[in-house]
Chain A
Amino acid sequence: MTSEFRKPGGHLISPDGNWYWDGIEQQWKPASTPPVAAPTAVNRRAAGQPKSEPSNSLSSFVGSVRSDDLVFGQTVLVWARWILIGTGLLLSFWSPTDLLTLQIQLAAIIALAFGNFYLHVQLLRGHPAIDNVVYAASIGDLCVVTALVIVQTGYPSPVFIFYFAAVVGISVAFPTVLTAAYTAIVIGVYGIICFTTAPSDEFPAVFTRLLMIAAIAVCGNLFARNESHRRQDAIRIHHELQDEAAASPQLSPVNPA
């Protein structure tokens, strides 16, 4: 079950058609409040779809609906990428060593900046990028960092730390399976690079780096899953209170716990 991205209305619509994504305010808003480009034929069809379970409206934002988590996690990914770009630019101009390395660094960083600008503009306009674009962009991040590591002779390269920023974004935005896959790719590729370029007495440091990349992924994804469960519980409690209130209209307001 995923959210739908409908053109030309352009806004991300929740699976039940009751909410749309306002990228400016970074909030879900009810579809009954017309968004700027919402009243289109496709959105009317979406809103007019028969709803077998009205109570599912809020539940559609938790549990298996990972696209919605991706929308929220996408802002973290975009900011992580801006940090990578800004830091990369700063450090490229700080005592550059040779021309070829600088050329490759700048080309990669500028390409990344263009891609990230596109994704950020999409978010600001309330049009989160489709899932596959986000997944591909994250692969692009990892490729850029890997290219920089290789250009700077592998293990001695200090830019490997940017893997951490990329993995943080991935771990909070992507489902567990994809997070595990991306992390495994990072650990595998970077591990091979390090074990072929590092002297054997540096292997403990290589091990530490790889373990910490995995730890970052576990922490981020664990937190994201915990939060999903908490939201699910909160919505369930809310529905139960609604049912109670509907059953006894004279009931006094529910006090905060």
Chain B
Amino acid sequence: MQNVREVRTAAQANLEDVFFGQTVILWARWSVIVAGIVLVLWTSTTITHLTETVPFFLALMAMNFFLHGRYVMGSPLNRATVMVASFVDLVLITAIVALWPGSHGLDNQFFVLYFPVVLAFALVFTRRIEAAYTVIAMLAYVGACAFTGTVHPDLGNDDKVLVMRLIVIAAMGFLGNYYFRIQRDRLARASKGTSSGVEGLVAGLRPATAPARRR
């Protein structure tokens, strides 16, 4: 019994997290793509508008086909590539918020596209990387609102709405990563064959009848 110990190194655990978590990012991106294409087809009023906006989503779709295909084939891309792809998501969503015809910045209702992307990222990467990504998403949204001149620092109702949305983006990151850490801890304990720390390691390897004998 004492010959058995944790079979995964920390580096391997990180790689596994990216491998298994990648599917969540892929599905989050599919949801953004579907939403974007439906919106483009639904709201276009001219041929020019349609032909100028659809290519962005087709490019994103091609990228996600490639990533999803690699994942299904059992050879998902590495950590850096997944992060770059996630940043591309942020750029695209920020562009939608800032440049979408009709309503821009704070008045644009498509800020909700940030939520699944930030959540999926938080479920895959460690705390520091996730925190950086969430802060970048929040700054990107604030930047889009400021760039379009739809929000002014006067503590009025617009600022209230902006703060509310920023809090929920932050909450997506926090809650996702909190759950990620809980699950990682559970997996590490399961890999060691124990339910808790050092005491669990000893107790977990005891015969299951031990508690009955003790009492």
Report whether B110 and A18 are in contact in the complex, using a CB–CB cutoff of 8 Å: no
Known: A30-B200, A216-B115. A48 touches B212 (CB 8 A): yes
Report whether B115 and A246 are in contact in the complex, using a CB–CB cutoff of 8 Å: no
Pick from A56-64, A120-128, A130-138 the stretch touching chain B. Answer: A56-64
Within 8 Å of chain B (Cβ to Cβ): is A117?
no
Report the minimal beta-carbon distance from B194 to chain A, rounded to whole angstroms.
Answer: 8
Number of contacts between A and B (CB, 8 Å)?
Answer: 245
Report whether A246 and B212 are in contact in the complex, using a CB–CB cutoff of 8 Å: no
Q: Which residues of B contact A253 (CB under 8 A)?
A: 3, 5
Report whether B208 and A18 are in contact in the complex, using a CB–CB cutoff of 8 Å: yes
Report whether B206 and A222 are in contact in the complex, using a CB–CB cutoff of 8 Å: no
Q: Which residues of A contact B31 (CB under 8 A)?
A: 211-212, 214-215, 218
Q: Which residues of B contact A90 (CB under 8 A)?
A: 163
The B-contacting residues of A in range 4-25, CB under 8 angstroms, are 16-19, 22, 25
Known: A79-B178, A238-B4, A242-B4. A211 touches B24 (CB 8 A): no
- The docked-state distance in angstroms from the alpha carbon of A148 to that of B167 is 18
Identity of the chain B residue whose Cβ is nearest the Cβ of A18 in the assembled complex: B208
Bits for A177-200, please: 1 = Cβ < 8 Å to B, else 0.
Answer: 000000000000000000000000
Pick from B32-40, B47-55, B73-81, B135-143 the stretch touching chain A. Answer: B32-40
Report whether B196 and A238 are in contact in the complex, using a CB–CB cutoff of 8 Å: no
Report whether A28 and B7 are in contact in the complex, using a CB–CB cutoff of 8 Å: no
Report whether B119 and A33 are in contact in the complex, using a CB–CB cutoff of 8 Å: no
Identity of the chain A residue whose Cβ is nearest the Cβ of B25 in the assembled complex: A219
Interface centre among B27, B116, B191 (most CB of A within 10 A): B116
Report whether A238 and B35 are in contact in the complex, using a CB–CB cutoff of 8 Å: no
- The docked-state distance in angstroms from the alpha carbon of A245 to that of B176 is 38
Within 8 Å of chain A (Cβ to Cβ): is B187?
yes
Report whether B112 and A75 are in contact in the complex, using a CB–CB cutoff of 8 Å: no
Option from B20, B119, B165, B215 in Cβ contact (under 8 Å) with A219? B119
Report the minimal beta-carbon distance from A84 to chain B, rounded to whole angstroms.
Answer: 8
Identity of the chain A residue whose Cβ is nearest the Cβ of B6 in the assembled complex: A256
Report whether A238 and B119 are in contact in the complex, using a CB–CB cutoff of 8 Å: no
Option from A32, A61, A205 in Cβ contact (under 8 Å) with B211? A32
Interface size class of A (residues with CB under 8 A): 35 or more
Q: Which residues of B contact A27 (CB under 8 A)?
A: 195-197, 200
Option from A32, A164, A205, A224 in Cβ contact (under 8 Å) with B110? A205
- The docked-state distance in angstroms from the alpha carbon of A44 to that of B214 is 10
Report whether B193 and A242 are in contact in the complex, using a CB–CB cutoff of 8 Å: yes
The B-contacting residues of A in range 207-225, CB under 8 angstroms, are 207-209, 211-212, 214-216, 218-220, 222-224
Give the 3 A-B residue pairs with the shortest CB-CB distance, closest first. A30-B203, A215-B31, A205-B109
- Hey, which bits of chain B sit against chain A, CB under 8 A? 1, 3-9, 12, 16, 20-21, 23-24, 27-28, 31-32, 34-35, 38-39, 42-43, 109-110, 112-113, 115-116, 119-120, 123, 155-157, 160-161, 163-165, 167-168, 171-172, 174-176, 178-180, 182-183, 186-187, 189-193, 195-197, 199-200, 203-212, 214-215
What are 29 A-B pairs at a CB distance below 8 A? A17-B211, A27-B196, A28-B196, A29-B195, A33-B199, A47-B212, A55-B208, A61-B190, A72-B186, A76-B182, A80-B171, A87-B168, A94-B163, A95-B160, A164-B171, A168-B119, A169-B175, A204-B39, A204-B42, A211-B35, A214-B31, A220-B119, A222-B27, A231-B187, A231-B190, A234-B187, A237-B7, A238-B190, A256-B7
